[in-house]
Structures are given as C-alpha cells and as structure tokens.
Structure 1
Amino acid sequence: MSAFPRLQRLRDDHAPALLAFERENRAYFAASVPDRGDLYFVRFGERHAALLAEQAAGLHHFHVLVGEGGEVLGRFNLVDVADGSAELGYRMAERAAGRGLATAAVGEVCALAAAEYGLTSLRAVTTLDNAGSRAVLERAGFTPAGEIEVDGRPGLRFVRALGAASHG
C-alpha cells in the first residue's frame, strides 16, 4: 500500500502548495462554501503565518493531505479548541473528491484529536445540499445534532464523541 496521500500537520513549508490548492479549487469551493475573496490570496503569506502562530498557541490544529508529488489534496482543520472540544472543517481538491480520501483523512484527524490533542468531542456543520460532506461525516462516526443556518443556507450540525467508546 502506498504511503501517499499523507496527512501532515500544517507547516510553514506547506505554504506554496497550499496556495496552489486554494487557487486551483477556488471556483469548485465557491459552489458549496462562501468564496474567500481576492484579499485572501493577496495576503496569503500573512494569513499562513498567523495560522501557524495560532496553532503553536494551541488554539487550532491544522492539517493538509499531501500527495506523492507534494501537492495539497485537502485541508482538515480543528478550530476553536476549548474545553476538550473543537470544530472540524475540511475541503478536498476537486480532482481528489469521490475517492474516499476525505473519509480516511477525517478518521485520521479524529484519532489525532483524541490521542495527540486530548480532545473528547468534535462538532462539524455542512449545508443540506452538500451530500458528499454529509456522507463523509456520517461514515466517520458523526451524528446529526440539529438543523442550523450555514451562510444563509439550511444546514446540519454534527457531533462525534472521541475516546475508547467512539467509532473509528
């Protein structure tokens, strides 16, 4: 079995591949989540440095799914870490979608959340029309926990307990 793609904790040297990932998939992402806006790309270096500082402070845990050639295939983030919990957010490159990579990476992030970061639960949200994201969350052991509005669109909130009794 190939060692790639590989989930890696976000580092400074991921910046060029991460920027390429965001640029290449901008229109694809904008179809399901709000666009980041032009300023995001103009100030990408500053934003990347700020994310790394927040990660070093333990506020968030950022990960990238890296392919064999060093390209970023996905982002998997645990944000707003507090009281043993965090919110999971992720996005996959269009060319890597539909291959089970997101499900595997979400499972790996859940394991890291419990074993490395000491978290006991995760939450996530997605829009009702994002069937792929809902399927990833459900396959990774998340359960629906109520309806929510996501950027003006109907959505669902999901939760997952972590630890010995949890799925995965």
Structure 2
Amino acid sequence: MTRLQLLRFDHAPALLAFERENRSYFAASVPDRGDRYFAAFDERHAALMAEQAAGLCFFHVLVGDGGEVVGRVNLIDVAAGSAELGYRIAERAAGRGLATAAVREACGLAVAEYGLAELRAVTTLDNTGSRAVLARTGFVVSGDVDLDGRPGLRFVCDLQVQTV
C-alpha cells in the first residue's frame, strides 16, 4: 500500500533514486530537469524544505511499502488561498490509479491542512494520462498554455465545490 507523505529531509535518498530511475520516462512528457538538478540535489532538497517550512509550497512523496518513492504530488506557489499542483508517478507504477488517488488526497489536504480554496495545473496536450487524472479529480480546462514550445492546457479546480 502506498502512502502520501509530506516531504521530509530523510526522503532525500529515495527521492533522488526515483528521479534518476524515471528521468527519461518523465522527459517524454515534461521538460527534463537537467543535469544540474541531479548534481545539486542535496542543496535543492534543502531549499525545498525551507520553502515548505515557510508555507510557500507543500511537497509530498508517494511512498511504497518498502520505503521507495513511487510518486510526487506538489503544491507550489501557495498564495491567496491558491496553489499550483504538479505530480509525477514512476513508470513502473503508472496505470494503476495511483496518480488519481494521490491527487485526490492532495486536494483534501489542500483544504483541510493548508487552507486552500483553489488549485491550478498545466499539462501538455499529448499527455493524455495527466489530462485524465485532472478531469477525474475535478479540474476543468481554463485556457491554453505553451510549455517549453509544446502546446498545453491550463486547468483549475475550485476546492469549495469539488465533489470527487
């Protein structure tokens, strides 16, 4: 059974392994993080923890029974009751409903723990899996977006009326 956990310092080794293992898989649908992300991972992780402590972002990892990270669900740029949702699931765990369940749980946390009323998200047009997750979890299309030269869509979820 997987569990969504608020990111902690001790998640760093498993999170780095997750990002390395899935780098090419993720790069097929979202912009690659680049070599610097991996080279400076410890510094980046510490910076994320500081942002989270300040309430600017809420980072979550989806952890499997063996302690391995199989996904991430992040709420970033928290301001005025709103945040942007981002998520990624390991290739070996994809297609099992984990993203949908994790996004639903994050939406619940957004309201109950973080006091948010709205979430935003973006995805490329060709990322049909992500678009399906967003639709299943109450997000609606709110416009077009360019994501590093790739056409995409903006989504919004009003957490005050969400019923999924």
TM tier, smaller:
over 0.9
Q: Could you tell me which of 3, 8, 22 is aligned with 2:5?
A: 8
Give the drift of 1:148: 1.1
Higher mean Cα deviation, 65-74 or 35-44?
35-44
* RMSD of aligned alpha carbons: 0.6
Give 3-state SS (helix, strand or coil) of 1:160's partner: strand
Partner Cα separation in structure 1 for residue 60 and residue 124 of structure 2: 22
Alpha-carbon deviations, 1:33-85, whole Å to 9, x = none? Answer: 11111111111000000000000000000000000000000010000000000
1:20-39 matches, within 5 Å, as 20-39=17-36
Residue identity opposite 1:31 in structure 2: A
**Unpaired segments ≥5 residues, structure 1:** none
Unmatched 5+ stretches in structure 2: none
Is residue 72 from structure 1 mapped to residue 69 from structure 2 by the alignment?
yes
- Give structure 1 regions of 4+ aligned residues with deviation exceeding 2 angstroms: none
Q: Count residues in correspondence.
A: 164
In the alignment, which residue of structure 1 is the partner of 2:125?
128
Equivalent residue, structure 2, for 1:167: 163
Alignment map for 1:4-153 (pairs within 5 Å): 4-153=1-150
Normalized against structure 2, the TM-score is what? Answer: 0.98
Q: Structure 2: how far apart are the matches of 1:101 and 1:167?
A: 19
Separation in structure 2 between the aligned mates of residue 130 and residue 24 of structure 1, nearest angstrom: 20
Deviation at 1:167, TM superposition (A): 2.1
The Cα shift of 1:126 comes to: 0.2
